Amino acid sequence: MTDERPSTWRPGRMESDPARLVALDVLEQVRDGAFANIALPATLKRANLSGKGRGFATNLTYGTLRMQGRWDAIIRMCVQGRPFEEIDPLVIDILRLGAHQIQGLDVAIHAAMNETVNLARNEVGSGASGFVNAVMHRISERTAAEWDEVLAAELADQGPKAVLAAQTSHPEWILDVYEKSLVASGRTVADLGDVLAANNGPARVAIAPRAVSRETVMNDAREARATPLDGVLMPDAIVLERGNPGRMQSIRDQSAGVQDEGSQLVAHLLAGAPLEGRDEEWLDMCAGPGGKTATIAGLVQGRNVRVFANELHDHRLDLVANAVAPFGDAVALREGDGRTLAREEPNRFDRVLVDAPCSGIGSLRRRPEARWRKTPGDAEGMMELQAGLLAAAIDAARPGGLICYSTCSPDVRETLDIVNQFTDRVDVLDTVDVARTMVIPGSLDTISGPYLQLWPDEHDTDAMFAALLIKK
Ligand SMILES: C[S@@+](CC[C@H](N)C(=O)[O-])C[C@H]1O[C@@H](n2cnc3c(N)ncnc32)[C@H](O)[C@@H]1O
């Protein structure tokens, strides 16, 4: 396809809708390696988009990126024999945006068609617009349920997992990993579809009050014209149904923070699990960017506790410093490899958190492009580091001290396979039982097994894992 991209609008042509242009721009940046959650705000700002246009551009961008696998599978069937790989990537992006408007959002078909064809004409050229027009027509001829059937028939020879992967827009290997961890956490493979569907919705904006009361945060939210609701898991958490947390005073002055309820629970587990004996020095071994450190710092206010926040990378330690600024001396910062800490100070800390670096496949809702960038080998590559960090955490804890190991991945290679290497060395507290005392009653009822494994479909959180251990 020839590249006839015009740089300016020409008389007689319909200008492209600014929100769709923003979405296309971000998709191009993501193709070049950018992260959507960083590229989108900057692009929105440059385009000076606000209000409804901003909301539409955000939904369109994130939704299209999440559903890219499904849209590509459908587009492949609509290009009538043309090799997908030979189509201009910009045209593919325009088609993905068009498919998402028709199939994933409530945009009227004629509006989605016109805007998409127009975008192709203005950004690529008239040759491309004819092609896009034809493909869009084919996409619009079926409902979502009908496309599910067509995908099932088309991919039948590759097996049911390939079909589910395409229908739910995930790489197939993630289905294998989730299946194993669903079973390991007491659920069944029949639940897989629900988890995958939950990954395709936007993550809720949850807020943790830290240096202010819950009531103050609720009032702040209302003043910022947001709609605050109760959390699903944590009694203190607030969820914004609508509105921009960046407008809230308590978010701006960091006395509260935007944080997934699963992450809030991990901070509460570290701070609230029962412990015998001295309880004054805590270590957060992998603290960057500092979300859990800040929540922990909020929880220890008024207690005689010093939190030591350690982070390997200096730029991430700067983020921790910023996150804990409202808490003054309660948090001491350290820069270094968590694994060397124990050698310097064995048997020192009363409570140790290892929020380990991990493959991150439990937080796909909030990182729309992540599922397409991660690889099946990512978890394997983290295991030695994770086990090394947990070993060091156990060494750094005092006898009788508590260790919390957590990941934002449910992959058993990063969760059970790591923790089980140490359970013959330490007494293991039953995490789930401890956790039940901290959450809204009933919200963890479906979890069985000794450790905590949250799921986006059941708990409306990231798929966080946590285990509590007590050192002998
Ligand atoms: C999952 S993140 C922690 C998130 C953090 N606890 C929060 O809630 O904001 C893991 C962190 O561990 C850091 N890290 C990686 N290797 C490390 C090591 N050997 N020692 C200490 N920190 C490390 C990474 O830079 C990253 O910031």
- Count of structural domains within the chain: 4
Chain segment 353-372, per-residue pLDDT in tens: 999 999 999 999 989 999 99
pLDDT of 4 > 60? The answer is no
- Cβ–ligand 1 distance for 371 under 6 Å, the answer no
Return the pLDDT at 13.
64
Which atom of ligand 1 sits closest to the CA of residue 290? 9
* CA nearest to 249, candidates 214, 221, 272, 226: 221
| pLDDT, average across residues 12-40 | 94
Q: What's 246's domain CATH number?
A: 3.30.70.1170
Q: How far is the CA of 302 from the centre of ligand 1 (A)?
A: 27
Establish whether 338 is an annotated binding residue: no
Residue 76 lies in a domain: yes
Q: How far is the CA of 357 from the centre of ligand 1 (A)?
A: 5
Based on the domain organization, do 193 and 239 belong to the same domain? Answer: no
Residue 354 lies in a domain: yes
Establish whether 471 is an annotated binding residue: no
Based on the domain organization, do 329 and 310 belong to the same domain? Answer: yes
Return the pLDDT at 6.
41
Least confident of 1-10, 137-146, 254-263, 396-405: 1-10
Q: Is there a catalytic annotation at residue 408? A: yes
Based on the domain organization, do 319 and 460 belong to the same domain? Answer: yes
pLDDT of 76 > 60? The answer is yes
Q: How far is the CA of 439 from the centre of ligand 1 (A)?
A: 25
Chain segment 128-173, per-residue pLDDT in tens: 999 999 999 999 999 999 999 999 999 999 999 999 999 999 999 9
Residue 416 lies in a domain: yes
Return the pLDDT at 411.
98
Based on the domain organization, do 390 and 433 belong to the same domain? Answer: yes
Chain segment 49-72, per-residue pLDDT in tens: 988 999 999 999 999 999 999 999
From 270, 311, 366, give the residue whose CB has the most ligand 1 atoms within 8 Å, as the site to mutate: 311
Q: Which residue puts its alpha carbon closest to atom 11 of ligand 1?
A: 286
Based on the domain organization, do 418 and 457 belong to the same domain? Answer: yes
Give the integer Cα–Cα distance in Å for 309 and 331.
7
Based on the domain organization, do 311 and 243 belong to the same domain? Answer: no
Establish whether 442 is an annotated binding residue: no
Establish whether 472 is an annotated binding residue: no
Chain segment 78-95, per-residue pLDDT in tens: 998 899 999 999 999 999
- Cα–Cα distances (Å) from 96 to 20, 64, 87, 104, 446, in that order, read 12, 6, 13, 10, 37
Based on the domain organization, do 442 and 301 belong to the same domain? Answer: yes
Chain segment 208-246, per-residue pLDDT in tens: 999 999 999 999 999 999 999 999 999 999 999 988 899
Query: Residue 238 has which token pair?
Result: 């607030």
Based on the domain organization, do 432 and 466 belong to the same domain? Answer: yes
* CA nearest to 271, candidates 336, 356, 330, 340: 330
Query: Which structural domain, as residue segments, surrounds residue 248?
Result: 205-258
Give the integer Cα–Cα distance in Å for 179 and 428.
25
Based on the domain organization, do 102 and 119 belong to the same domain? Answer: yes
pLDDT of 349 > 90? The answer is yes
From 264, 282, 283, 286, give the residue whose CB has the most ligand 1 atoms within 8 Å, as the site to mutate: 286
Q: What's 116's domain CATH number?
A: 1.10.940.10
Based on the domain organization, do 318 and 399 belong to the same domain? Answer: yes
Q: Where residue 3 falls among pLDDT bands split at 50, 70, 90?
A: very low
Residue 154 lies in a domain: no
Residue 13 lies in a domain: no
- Cβ–ligand 1 distance for 355 under 6 Å, the answer yes
**What ipTM does this complex have?**
0.99
Q: Which of 13-17, 71-75, 339-343 has the highest mean pLDDT?
A: 71-75
- Cβ–ligand 1 distance for 287 under 6 Å, the answer yes
Q: Report the run of H or E that residue 97 belongs to, with start and end.
A: helix 89-99
| pLDDT, average across residues 174-200 | 96
Q: What's 400's domain CATH number?
A: 3.40.50.150
Based on the domain organization, do 359 and 322 belong to the same domain? Answer: yes
Based on the domain organization, do 291 and 425 belong to the same domain? Answer: yes
Residue 3 lies in a domain: no
